[in-house]
């Protein structure tokens, strides 16, 4: 009787393992890097290549697997990485780590979708955007109070990039300068940045009422000191504009 019970237990384990194996995919294709990128022109390649990784049902890498790449939306060129040779049949093979990689150069503005697929697994898609208007400003000034936006006791302070304690603001004449209202503040906060003193020949600016995360952009067109204030929360800053070299 003990032997029969052991046999039944072994058979049950065998059947359960068989069911698990039957539902486990034999191979999968995963996005490994390069998704959701932004480019600013149709001349240079995207900064990062598109990479996928082929694995078996247990997550082990699959080498020498053919990966088919297709441009589903937009237009452009798929190239080998890192030598940038153009792919003749839009295919690459995975390495010993299961990874296959291509470079991409967009030839049209707007959105692009590039797919990668292998036999026996579903395709994955990479999304990218090419838009010159998305080029970040040369200088980003962040403004905001440290704790609240009720004004008075906590006036707005200004800093460049993430250096909150650096209050020296500088730019070159003609550069794109943005003033951003700090995005860590409550959604109900508002600000209004406006110049109160500009050098001779300079064009004054006024952001109007903006909210946390909003950004106003201008180009200082005169050399000298540009003084501005948050007209809602108080607190002034000075942008030192140097001549172009």
Instruction: State yes or no: pLDDT of 226 exceeds 60.
Output: yes
Q: Which residue has the higher pLDDT, 101 or 1?
A: 101
Q: Which of 131-135, 138-142, 203-207 has the lowest mean pLDDT?
A: 131-135
pTM listed for this prediction:
0.59
Tell me the pLDDT band of 14, cut-offs 50, 70 and 90.
very low
Predicted pLDDT at 82:
87
Element (H, E) at 7: helix 2-23
Predicted pLDDT at 84:
84
Predicted pLDDT at 21:
47
> How far is 77 from 90, CA to CA, in rounded Å?
9
Cα 4 vs. chain centroid, distance in angstroms? 62
Predicted pLDDT at 147:
77
Q: Which residues of 33-52 are buried (b: 16+ CB within 10 A; e: fewer)?
A: ebeebebeeeeebbeebbbb
Phi/psi class of residue 224: alpha, beta or left (left: φ > 0; alpha: ψ in -120 to 50)? left
């Amino acid at each position: 009787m003990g032997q029969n019970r052991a046999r039944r237990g072994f058979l049950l384990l065998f059947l359960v393992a068989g069911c698990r194996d039957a539902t486990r995919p034999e191979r999968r294709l995963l996005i490994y890097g390069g998704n959701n990128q932004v480019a600013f022109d149709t001349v240079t390649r995207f900064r990062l290549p598109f990479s996928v990784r082929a694995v078996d049902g247990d997550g082990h890498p699959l080498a020498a697997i053919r990966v088919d790449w297709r441009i589903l939306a937009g237009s452009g060129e798929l190239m080998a990485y890192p030598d940038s040779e153009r792919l003749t049949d839009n295919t690459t093979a995975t390495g010993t780590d299961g990874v296959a990689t291509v470079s991409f150069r967009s030839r049209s503005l707007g959105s692009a979708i590039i797919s990668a697929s292998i036999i026996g697994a579903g395709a994955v898609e990479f999304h990218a955007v090419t838009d010159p208007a998305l080029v970040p400003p040369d200088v980003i000034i962040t403004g905001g109070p440290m704790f609240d936006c009720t004004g008075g006791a906590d006036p707005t302070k200004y800093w460049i990039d993430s250096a909150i304690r650096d209050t020296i603001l500088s730019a070159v004449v003609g550069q794109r300068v943005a003033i951003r209202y700090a995005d860590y503040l409550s959604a109900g906060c508002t600000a209004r940045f406006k110049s109160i003193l500009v050098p001779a020949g300079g064009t004054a600016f006024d952001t109007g009422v903006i909210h946390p995360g909003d950004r106003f952009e201008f180009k200082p067109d005169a050399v000298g000191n540009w003084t501005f204030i948050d007209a809602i929360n108080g607190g002034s800053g000075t942008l030192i504009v140097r001549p172009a070299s």
